[in-house]
Chains A and B, each alone.
Chain A
Amino acid sequence: MIDVTDLVVSYGTAIALDHVTLAVGKGEMVALLGPNGAGKSTLANTLAGLLTPASGTVSGTVRVEGRLALVPEGRQLFPDMSVADNLALGGWRSGQRDPAPVYELLPRLAELAGRRAGVLSGGEQQMVAVGRALMSRPQVLVVDELSLGLAPNITADLAAHLATLNREQGLAVLLIEQNARLAFELCSRAYVLESGQVRAEGACAELADDPRVASAYLGGAIT
């Protein structure tokens, strides 16, 4: 679904992504791990086609099959609009403005429909962001920092929803995370991005056993 080969993105003299090659197959759930500033969000923005020619230069190939939706880092809702309006705008690409299917998946959103997005809790906002992305009926979902700033039980709830979507509807997911435990729990494969380069990749079970990965992302403890 996502096929990235030799991607280089630079802003002026700063190189954000350095020959990155990465793939997400049909119905696959893949994690992308890495510290702050590794280039994760640049990759997310590149995949979503949000890099403007003025903001950076791009080389390499990026192929995306089917519709891709992004749940951006920091939710990025329209804070002054209602949840229903946020969702409706999520359907801009697909032309689907009726949020009923998303309410079915995430019933809590139906209860919040009339509330202003800006006043919701972090977990609720993240749910709106996921719901908004689903409105475009994507075949691939890129989720940037699902767990950031959220309590573990809320993250677990959202993650369970993603896992269900992946299992039941074959939605491919690229989960960009700093929380490796969560990523390894959900995903089959993972990439480790550091300083713009893919430093490690493989099945999650193997990566979890890699002492370097374990010490950097799992706090030394091997699950």
Chain B
Amino acid sequence: MSAFLTYLLNGLAVGCAIALIASGLVAIHRVTGVVNFAQGTFAVVAGLCTSSLLGLGVPHGVSEAAAVLLAGVAGLLTGLAAIGRPGTTPLSSLIITLGVGVLAYAVEIVLWGDQPRSAPGLAGSVTIAGARIQTQHLLVIAVTAATFVLLALFFGRTYLGKALTACASNPYAARVVGIDTRRMGLLAFALGGLLGGLAGVLITPLRPISFDTDVTLIVNAFAAAVFGALTRPVVALGGALLLGVAETMAAGYGYGSHQLEVALGLMLVVMIVQASRRSAIHEEAV
């Protein structure tokens, strides 16, 4: 029973990290209509950067904050490439973000090499109802919860957040009232970068990160986001937690080698169910 609880909490922590990346994916997709393939890259960049900064003796807190900011800048740059040029279709933008992801490989290998890197996180562990759980796992859960509350407040209560929501709800109307939808798209990309970066600094102490970890991250995040049809962040959070728990349980009970298949299989099933419920007639090919 205590093993089950440990797996559950560990799974929730993994799911939270996925949820942060997925929420960036959703934010960008809602505002711009673009699925950002480089979303996992932001986490990798932040994770590698924080490990370097901590290695150089920069204190905790500062290292993580700098890494997250760097990821935000990476998000902005990705956005500039993907939607900066007027008339770029969402399909072209997806391909550009794919290119950004591959370009990041080159930069990351030059800067950090091709071996996985880790970073120290919160040491120690606590025992909850007989289940031992690492403090870092709890930190991931707490930070994610706080981030989602802040995001809800930002999008629901602030003027800028409402303007972003307006772009998602009716881009033409947003332009009618004078909102620069392209600039809002860039803002969404920067936000996506920050969220991805946050996920990166949180998980690097839990599992080593290398330049090509982004594929696993983006695929998991996309799978989670697909639960919410790429537009509903809270449903994506639920999907991410489900994925995290399912994967950790699979690993914990001896199916570790099939972790990825569990996540991807789940994603395919969700997409197929959604496909059978929706008709293509109402959807333009993107």
Query: Do A and B come into direct contact in the complex, CB within 8 Å?
Result: yes
Complex Cα distance, B174 from A78, in Å, reads 8
Interface membership of A79, Cβ < 8 A: yes
Residues 64-83 of A, flagged 1 when their CB comes within 8 A of B and 0 if not, give 00000010100011111100
**Which stretch in B46-54, B159-167, B210-218, B252-260 binds the other chain?**
B159-167
Complex Cα distance, B175 from A92, in Å, reads 10
Whether the pair A81, B179 counts as a contact (CB closer than 8 A) is no
Whether the pair A92, B179 counts as a contact (CB closer than 8 A) is yes
Whether the pair A136, B178 counts as a contact (CB closer than 8 A) is yes
What residues of A have a CB within 8 angstroms of the CB of B87 in the complex? 52-55
CB distance from B269 to the nearest CB of A (A): 29
What residues of B have a CB within 8 angstroms of the CB of A4 in the complex? none
Interface membership of A40, Cβ < 8 A: no
Interface of B is mostly: helix
Which residue in chain B gives the minimum CB-CB distance to A93?
Answer: B178
Whether the pair B162, A76 counts as a contact (CB closer than 8 A) is no
Interface membership of A85, Cβ < 8 A: yes
Whether the pair A78, B173 counts as a contact (CB closer than 8 A) is yes
Whether the pair A72, B172 counts as a contact (CB closer than 8 A) is yes
Interface membership of B125, Cβ < 8 A: no
Whether the pair B173, A72 counts as a contact (CB closer than 8 A) is yes
Whether the pair A89, B177 counts as a contact (CB closer than 8 A) is yes
CB distance from B170 to the nearest CB of A (A): 6
Interface membership of B86, Cβ < 8 A: yes
Complex Cα distance, B177 from A88, in Å, reads 10
Whether the pair A76, B173 counts as a contact (CB closer than 8 A) is yes
> Which B132-190 residues have C-beta < 8 A from chain A?
159, 162-163, 165-166, 169-170, 172-179
Picked from A48, A53, A88, A132, the residue with its CB within 8 Å of the CB of B159 is: A88
> Which A101-146 residues have C-beta < 8 A from chain B?
132, 136
What residues of B have a CB within 8 angstroms of the CB of A52 in the complex? 86-87
Whether the pair B177, A132 counts as a contact (CB closer than 8 A) is yes
* Number of residues of chain A lying within 8 A (CB) of chain B: 23
> Which A21-76 residues have C-beta < 8 A from chain B?
48, 50, 52-55, 70, 72, 76
What residues of B have a CB within 8 angstroms of the CB of A88 in the complex? 159, 162
Whether the pair A92, B172 counts as a contact (CB closer than 8 A) is no
What residues of B have a CB within 8 angstroms of the CB of A50 in the complex? 172, 175-176
Whether the pair B86, A78 counts as a contact (CB closer than 8 A) is no
What residues of A have a CB within 8 angstroms of the CB of B173 in the complex? 72, 76-78
Whether the pair B170, A92 counts as a contact (CB closer than 8 A) is no
Complex Cα distance, B175 from A13, in Å, reads 26
What residues of B have a CB within 8 angstroms of the CB of A97 in the complex? 159
Interface membership of A99, Cβ < 8 A: no
Whether the pair A54, B86 counts as a contact (CB closer than 8 A) is yes
Complex Cα distance, B169 from A50, in Å, reads 17
Whether the pair B177, A93 counts as a contact (CB closer than 8 A) is yes
Picked from A54, A76, A85, the residue with its CB within 8 Å of the CB of B176 is: A76
What residues of A have a CB within 8 angstroms of the CB of B172 in the complex? 50, 72, 76
CB distance from B90 to the nearest CB of A (A): 13
Interface membership of A196, Cβ < 8 A: no
Query: Known contacts A48-B176, A76-B176, A92-B179; is A85 also within 8 Å of B162 by CB?
Result: yes
What residues of B have a CB within 8 angstroms of the CB of A55 in the complex? 87
CB distance from B242 to the nearest CB of A (A): 26
Whether the pair A136, B169 counts as a contact (CB closer than 8 A) is no
Which residue in chain B gives the minimum CB-CB distance to A71?
Answer: B176
Whether the pair B177, A136 counts as a contact (CB closer than 8 A) is yes
CB distance from B276 to the nearest CB of A (A): 26
Which residue in chain B gives the minimum CB-CB distance to A78?
Answer: B169
Complex Cα distance, B179 from A78, in Å, reads 13
Which residue in chain B gives the minimum CB-CB distance to A90?
Answer: B177
Complex Cα distance, B172 from A48, in Å, reads 12
CB distance from B155 to the nearest CB of A (A): 11
Residues 193-222 of A, flagged 1 when their CB comes within 8 A of B and 0 if not, give 000000000000000000000000000000
Whether the pair B169, A70 counts as a contact (CB closer than 8 A) is no
Which residue in chain A gives the minimum CB-CB distance to B180?
Answer: A92
What residues of B have a CB within 8 angstroms of the CB of A79 in the complex? 169-170
Can you name 25 A-B pairs with beta carbons within 8 Å? A50-B172, A52-B86, A52-B87, A53-B86, A70-B176, A72-B173, A72-B176, A77-B173, A78-B166, A78-B169, A78-B170, A80-B165, A80-B169, A81-B162, A81-B165, A81-B166, A81-B169, A85-B162, A88-B162, A89-B166, A89-B174, A90-B177, A92-B163, A136-B177, A136-B178
Given contacts A72-B173, A88-B162, A92-B163, 10 further A-B contacts (CB under 8 A): A48-B176, A52-B87, A53-B87, A80-B169, A88-B159, A89-B174, A93-B178, A97-B159, A132-B177, A136-B177
Taking Cβ atoms with an 8 Å cutoff, the residues of B that contact A are 86-87, 159, 162-163, 165-166, 169-170, 172-179
